[in-house]
Structure 1
Amino acid sequence: MADLFDKPPPDDIASQPKAEPPRPLADRLRPRALADVIGQTQVLGADAPLGVMLASGSLSSLVFWGPPGVGKTTIARLLAQETDLHFVQISAIFTGVPDLKKVFEAAKIRRQNGQGTLLFVDEIHRFNKAQQDGFLPHMEDGTILLVGATTENPSFELNAALLSRAQVLVLERLGAQDLEDLTLRAEAELKRALPLDPAARLALHEMADGDGRALLNLIEQVAAWRVDALLDPETLAKRLMRRAAKYDKSGDEHYNLISALHKSVRGSDPDAALYWFARMLEGGEDPRYLARRLTRMAVEDIALADPQAQAVCLQSWDTYERLGSPEGELALAQAVVYLALAPKTNAHYMAFKAAQRLAKQTGSAPPPKHILNAPTKLMAAQGYGADYAYDHNAEDGFSGQNYFPDGVPRPELYKPVERGFERELKRRLEYFEKLREKRNR
């Protein structure tokens, strides 16, 4: 008896096509042409950089800078398709020097056969300087057209030589209408509407936080639910985890948000300042870093307009150290509000900068001899301390003597403003200036 395993399968089974594994929604909705890309009109529009390049038939090397899930990979692939270039995709995370050499050799052979190569490098900022330099000769001789993608600021992460040979295009997080358009496209693919009421639909978009790929993943989860009625935001929040806000304590988001916090305080907007302060805490920022930066704001932007501002910051910082999180964060929030509403001045800052410039210009010019001490007879014989006017013995406790080096014209460095306590300092400054003029007549 023949072995059963030797028998050929029945015709009806052999002829049946193999079932394809299910494809993720994000893959099924991947655009097939640049015109299908949702959002990014600032780079894809007819008068935008890529639109102009494609219309003129002259595509240069590019660096796409933007957050995750906004279409960097998709646009690169479609650019290759629309310019008849062979598309090669690598990731800087998994690619070493030997792999790059193979990619370049294959591109050279392809070029000899009349086919160009668009090399898409994801996370290009993770390549070190030597690896980034390795792209340059192949970009210059036309072996590859490089399209890099990065979530980090290219100015800080990419070599100047590489940046000089590529145009940086900024891709933005998807807006509210973009997310709605993407949701409608997903519903058309799924052939059914999502079981969400209007408020829950908006909440779903907020959960995606501008990331198209994240939105499609969330939609795929919601579409799989079997529900009897439309879900509201509260029910949706129980079933789905909100996407963590994009924040890197050592990257772009860190510097962007602290800049937003500082400028909101400087702009006397406590609501905006509290918002950015909360955003940084939600992102996992160290409250001690924020305490230090708040103290800097008090020194840089408020200073003598409200001398208490610095003390409030230091007290809030000390309170945080004693209470810890989360209670101590309330003390820091108190400092945020105080700083935002305090009168502002940078007169001391500008005066200090001007003093630094003057110090560099005057070099080693010595103090005038009349304000130098004369602890020895030799120094006294040289005129040290001669004709010094002791201010406490002068009328009004002010001598009006010159304290700048001989030959250095008296500058006006500190110019207080008419705000807060500096208004009083300005009045004092003007008083002493009148006395100085009176003494030197």
Structure 2
Amino acid sequence: MADLFNTEGPPQAGSRQRPLADRLRPATLSEVIGQDAVLGPDAPLGAMLASGHLSSLVLWGPPGVGKTTIARLLAAETDLHFVQISAIFSGVAELRKVFAAAAERREAGSGTLLFVDEIHRFNKAQQDSFLPHMEDGSIVLVGATTENPSFELNAALLSRAQVVVLSRLDAAALADLAARAEALTETPLPLVPEARQALIDMADGDGRALLNLIEAVQGWQVDAPLDTAALSARLARRAAQYDKSGDAHYNLISALHKSVRGSDPDAALYWFARMLEGGEDPRYLARRLTRMAVEDIALADPQAQRVCLDAWESYERLGSPEGELALAQAVIYLALAPKSNAGYVAYKAARRAARQTGSAPPPKHILNAPTGLMKDQGYGAGYAYDHDAEDGFSGQNYFPDAMARPGFYQPVERGFERDLAKRLDYFERLRARRGQS
């Protein structure tokens, strides 16, 4: 596996005062760890560099995976002047200065790689300001974002840049990074193997966070290697990455919903717990659980919706943390309940039919006739009162006269819908017997 940080050669004078993450920055792209899927010879960036042409890019990935480092090294390998700005601190005035300087370099025969950190924080007008300078070749734009570019960046900008997805660092990559940090500092971590793994877990896929933790641990004076309990007592576990209005929010609720739909209570509970640990509002989860009951379980288990509403009310009455237990029990119930989207499919089909048939009126025999004029027009004529019919079922047509009878609702052979399917079949046989099918 490639290395994230360069460890060749002794530290320069004064480097001891620099943060470990800075001292271990890679010197070449081949040293970047954990991103072979985009940097390998046949990967997007590898192929782009091999062709000798670097196009504008959007680097999308979680914190601490090397976005800034990769941008800097891309500039070095393509002989472009590297300029870095942050969308958090930069405004229109600074952008104008950057564009003017890039234009002067282009006139002098050199190019500029403009790295924009947190590019998703620029508004639409600011994002649009990059376009003419990308098109005339003044800049090669490399934007970095932790948010989904599809939602946060303009379509015009995305059409001129290639999105490159960077992965969070796995345990093997982080372990390699830890070993290289020890080699550079010549200071082994004072940890037993289990505590070493716990330290890697605390980094949660973030290489920079791991190096900051390592720097803290290496500064401790201990007589013997620490176990996991001692490590945890000295270090606070890093909070899981979760933004209640960002990608993590939507990714985790999608994982919870699909785990429920897939009838896996353990996975559903895990994603439910992940969202709670990230600070998600339990009321939001209660609403989404109720949606799952309506959308994915429906009439296969009509009680599921009631379970969700009761759990929601229990949370409102109990509060935290006991209220979350009621919601967790609803998660388990939904995951194990029989599933059906037949009602959802029937509803959407009925909506399509309603749009297609426009203003077609109901048949006159099912219209009320409160006035003599309406009776003269045939309103209510021939209506069969179902309670007076054999079996309490008249079998009359209730669709517009010109509309062929559809079959929107097709219940599945699961749960309570098995009984509903039998009822449908029974009424269809009666309708056929009475010549109304």
TM range (shorter): over 0.9
Q: Which amino acid aligns with 2:165?
A: V
Partner of 2:377: 382
Tell me if structure 1 keeps the 8 A contact 2:182–2:188.
yes
Tell me if structure 1 keeps the 8 A contact 2:15–2:23.
no
Partner of 1:194: 189
1:99 paired to 2:108: no
TM-superposed deviation, 1:21 = 6.7
1:244 paired to 2:239: yes
TM-superposed deviation, 1:192 = 2.5
Larger of the two Rg values belongs to structure = 1
Instruction: Measure the CA separation in 2 of the matches of 1:273 and 1:186.
Output: 38
Partner of 1:79: 74
TM-superposed deviation, 1:229 = 1.2
Q: Which amino acid aligns with 1:128?
A: N
Tell me if structure 1 keeps the 8 A contact 2:84–2:114.
yes
Instruction: Measure the CA separation in 1 of the matches of 2:384 and 2:279.
Output: 58
Residue of structure 2 aligned with 1:54, choices 35, 49, 66: 49
Residue of structure 2 aligned with 1:128, choices 123, 126, 130: 123
Q: Which amino acid aligns with 1:280?
A: M
The 5 A counterparts of 1:5-404 are 22-404=17-399
Q: 1:277-336 CA distances to partner (integer Å, 9 max, x unpaired)?
A: 000000000001100110110000001100110110011111111100001100000000
Instruction: Measure the CA separation in 2 of the matches of 1:279 and 1:164.
Output: 35
Q: Which amino acid aligns with 1:199?
A: E
Instruction: Measure the CA separation in 2 of the matches of 1:47 and 1:126.
Output: 32
Q: Which amino acid aligns with 1:183?
A: A
Q: Which amino acid aligns with 1:145?
A: V
TM-superposed deviation, 1:42 = 1.1
Instruction: Measure the CA separation in 2 of the matches of 1:140 and 1:45.
Output: 28
Q: Which amino acid aligns with 1:301?
A: D
TM-superposed deviation, 1:219 = 0.4
Q: Which amino acid aligns with 2:396?
A: Q
Instruction: Measure the CA separation in 2 of the matches of 1:329 and 1:21.
Output: 48
Q: 1:97-151 CA distances to partner (integer Å, 9 max, x unpaired)?
A: 0100000110111111111000000000000000000000000000000000001
Three-state SS of the structure 1 residue aligned to 2:17 is coil
Aligned pair in 2 of structure 1 residues 41, 248: CA closer, same or farther (>3 Å)?
same
Q: 1:161-210 CA distances to partner (integer Å, 9 max, x unpaired)?
A: 00000000111100011101101110111113211111111100110000
Aligned pair in 2 of structure 1 residues 394, 209: CA closer, same or farther (>3 Å)?
same
Instruction: Measure the CA separation in 1 of the matches of 2:339 and 2:143.
Output: 43
Q: How many residues are aligned here? A: 425
Instruction: Measure the CA separation in 1 of the matches of 2:188 and 2:350.
Output: 67
Three-state SS of the structure 2 residue aligned to 1:220 is helix
TM-superposed deviation, 1:230 = 1.2
1:418 paired to 2:413: yes
Instruction: Measure the CA separation in 1 of the matches of 2:229 and 2:424.
Output: 61
Instruction: Measure the CA separation in 2 of the matches of 1:202 and 1:439.
Output: 74
Instruction: Measure the CA separation in 2 of the matches of 1:266 and 1:292.
Output: 16
TM-superposed deviation, 1:92 = 0.3
Tell me if structure 1 keeps the 8 A contact 2:384–2:396.
yes
Tell me if structure 1 keeps the 8 A contact 2:115–2:142.
yes
Instruction: Measure the CA separation in 2 of the matches of 1:233 and 1:431.
Output: 66
Aligned pair in 2 of structure 1 residues 201, 19: CA closer, same or farther (>3 Å)?
closer
1:407 paired to 2:412: no
Partner of 1:5: none
Gaps of 5+ in 1: 1-17
Instruction: Measure the CA separation in 1 of the matches of 2:186 and 2:14.
Output: 21
Instruction: Measure the CA separation in 2 of the matches of 1:360 and 1:162.
Output: 37
Q: Identity across aligned pairs (percent)?
A: 78
TM-score normalized by the length of structure 2: 0.96
TM-superposed deviation, 1:431 = 0.5
TM-superposed deviation, 1:76 = 0.2
Instruction: Measure the CA separation in 2 of the matches of 1:190 and 1:430.
Output: 77
Q: Which amino acid aligns with 2:169?
A: L
Aligned pair in 2 of structure 1 residues 438, 230: CA closer, same or farther (>3 Å)?
same
Three-state SS of the structure 2 residue aligned to 1:118 is strand
